[in-house]
Amino acid sequence: MATGPPPLRGIKVVEFAGLAPGPFAGLLLADAGATVLRIDRPPADVVSPPAQDMLTRHKASVAVDIKSPRGAALIRELVARDVDVLIDPFRPGVLEKAGLGPDVLLERNPRLIYGRLTGFRRDGRYRDMAGHDINYLAVSGALGLLGREADTPHPPANLLADFAGGGATLFQAILLALLSRQTTGRGQVVEANMVDGASYLATFPRLLLKTPLGSRGRGRNLLDGGCPYYDTYATKDGKYMSVGALEPPFFDALVNGLGLGGRGWEHRRYDPDEWPELRRAFVDAFRRKTRTEWELVFDGTDACCLPVLDYHELETDPAREGDQRPAVTLRKTPCLAIKRLGHDAPGDPATYGQGPGVEGDGYTGAALAPGDGAEAVLASWLGWTRGREYVVSGGAFALNKAAPRL
């Protein structure tokens, strides 16, 4: 089946370098075919690598001193000339101070989608405070749902606030604004914050708090580790199996596979007072075999019992589903490929994505040095050339004051 270009081909994005959430939003846009130009600080101003950013697939970089009048002027001219999306990852006021706030840039480019991402709400009590994923989760209420009953709340690395509630939510908001622009012809300011993003993601468990399915307290409910048939268990070799046998046929297949059938658990499992005993039975059973042995027992069944895999296994074992693909499959206009496919590999673009893939196959990140690819992007977007419209000094790009009026 013939495929067309990726869905965001032709969309031009300016992404100011920042920590993980902003670059992740840019990565999602780039993987969908947008051209993303990251704005880095000049090399002389960089104490450490640019935000240690590994989320660089399909992006280019230009180093600009936005505190310099000519540096800020370059950004204004760049954005004014048909840039579609800008990603602002800074605290409120940083870009405004440089003369790059939404009022200025939207006046020059009314079709611009000006995406702003913060940790806390811009109008909330924590707006002027520093924070990280764990803090945004904490004040959103989501962190209070996570963890074992007898332990402190545990954040899931920095996945839930930074990436899901932050970067992915901003990506969604940008797409909505692009869709709205199709009707109105105008861009707008788009604001996302990780507190509201994480809270929105927690809609279902939050609503469960007022029902019998979620009212027993953290770590004591059906879906949060309190229920023995929705949990993980150590195997004989120190690895783990996951269990999610909620429905009766699935539970029957699980207990029969574990050798625990015929003991009445099929009827007693609904009583939380029986859960501690059932958990002990599961713990003892899983410890009798290795994870591989349990896989042989449950593969092909509906027991909802599957191995807990780590990324090293996924990367190195061809039998596992570890080939990295775009997050979604668009049959007519696939996103860009992540994994590199050999000439003899099944390369259906709709499944694996378009193009040659990237170095590292989605397992090893590649740093993007300030200035990498900038000249090609500026030439492609605007027809600009070095020495005419802009100059480069010490690695920093700036508007050429001697250039013809732009």
Distance from C-alpha of 172 to C-alpha of 170, rounded to nearest angstrom = 5
Task: Return all residues near 277 (Cβ < 8 A) that are at least 6 apart.
Answer: none
Q: How distant is the alpha carbon of residue 264 from its chain centre?
A: 44
Measured CA to CA, the distance from residue 228 to residue 281 in angstroms comes to 10
| Residue given tokens 């300011």 in the structure block | 189
| Closest C-alpha among 225, 232, 219 to residue 282 | 232
Report how far residue 28's alpha carbon sits from residue 85's, in angstroms, rounded to the nearest whole number: 13
Note whether 31 and 335 are within 8 A (CB). yes
Record the tokens describing residue 128, joined without a space. Answer: 């002027």
DSSP 116: E
In 3D, which of 30, 116, 39 has the Cα closest to residue 74? 39
Catalytic option among 40, 133, 162, 224:
162
Q: List C-alpha distances in Å: 377 to 58, 88, 382.
A: 12, 20, 8
Can you tell me the distance from the alpha carbon of 214 to that of 219, in angstroms, rounded to the nearest whole number?
9
SS3 state at 243 = strand
Dihedral through CA 170, CA 171, CA 172, CA 175, nearest 10? 120
Closest CA to 59 of 15, 89, 18: 15
Three-state helix/strand/coil letters over 321-333: CCCCCCCCCCCCC
CA distance 383 to 375: 10
**CA gap 307, 292 in Å, rounded:** 8
Q: What tokens does 351 get?
A: 């499944």
Q: How far is CA 295 from CA 141, 185, 288, 289, 304, in A?
A: 37, 55, 13, 10, 11
* Closest CA relative to residue 358, chosen from 43, 45, 59: 59
Distance of CA 236 to the CA centre of its chain: 34
- Is 151 part of the annotated catalytic residue set? no
Cα atoms in the Cβ-side hemisphere of radius 13 Å centred on 333: 9
Residues with active-site annotation = 162
